[in-house]
Structure 1
Amino acid sequence: MKTLDVSEYLDLESRSLDALAPRQRILKTASELFYRNSIHTVGIDRIIAESGVAKMTFYKHFPSKANLAATYLRHKSALWFDMLATATEQAGPAPLDRVLAIFDALNASFQAPTFRGCPFVRGLAEFGPDAETPEVQATLAAYFHDLRKFVASLVQPLKLKNQESVVVQILALIQGSLVNAQAMRGGVEPLATRDAAKVLLEAAVQRG
């Protein structure tokens, strides 16, 4: 089964449904429906109808709903890491500023009217350890592994003695920020979380 590369995922966001090939039309439609509602509440028939493809075409590209769900999560992961990479690169060379840029990027995403929380946290709730969807669970695990690796790469230049502990704490602030932003729309929580991350990092640098 073909896996879209990052450029193709980004292309889905910029092009209209009519301008896409059938596979991309299915994925774009499913991504919008899954994120706006949930994976479990959106049926295949609705995706087929709204994407404008035949049922045979759907199953040619996605043999199961679980396969489509995993592809959707990879799509979201590609967009998320592209956003983080752009934000941290624009922050400049200072390591502390690069870590804090994560929270600036989050704050910007929270302002979007389409924000519905973290698709990966929601995915964990929908596909628990007893779910018989190994591809979905592997995709979720890969996302959280990659996020930890990304944060660690930003923290590493600070040369902290307790680097691993700081990475875990930053990850907790990121996930907490996402959940709270979904629960408290319009609040000041994202900026408060950035301030908490700054205090944490500055204290860790002072300790060496």
Structure 2
Amino acid sequence: MRGVAVFCGSNFGASPAYAEAAAALGREMAARGLRLVYGGTTKGLMGVVADAVLAAGGSATGVITHKLHARGHLHGKLSAHELVPTMRERKTRMGELADAFVALPGGLGTFEELFEAATLTQLGEHVKACGVLNVNGYYEPLRAMLDRAVAEGFMKAEHRDMVVIESDPARLLDALAAWQPPVVDKWIGQPGS
């Protein structure tokens, strides 16, 4: 694991604990020599994690759309950045540059990015660990939703368990480094799948 894509809010959230956790993750990534791959802006938790990585001597690569760049959202101190035309291309390029994915607290974009990365792992499109930093229990509803999907027969337990949920940045990165992909297909009780 050399590069980790971090998905997170472009806002700060209601509690200072979210920014504190983003900074702690950034420092831990830099200490381990892990390159941050993220959306390239200074906004919200995205800026906090990038600032922390860079302040600790780490490397941060931003992938930003032309539209956001034109609005002046590019972080000016990144190790590297790439401009792409669309959000879809942004996610694709971040996935290409990363060996694993982490979601911090965030909104719709963060959820969508996390679920896309996990779905691609589930389908075998890539073999990359996905995890969430569960700050202040933010991702407990996600844990419950995944449990419900298993209980209701929409997901195998192995696919629920492939999303690592940890509240400590060091433990999360350790778990992602040790992660092994599930060896079951996604279909339940369907012959010829």
TM-score category by the smaller chain? 0.3 to 0.5
TM-score normalised by L of structure 2: 0.34
- Give the TM-score of the pair, scaled to structure 1: 0.32
| Structure 1 or 2: more helix by fraction | 1
> Which structure has the bigger radius of gyration?
1
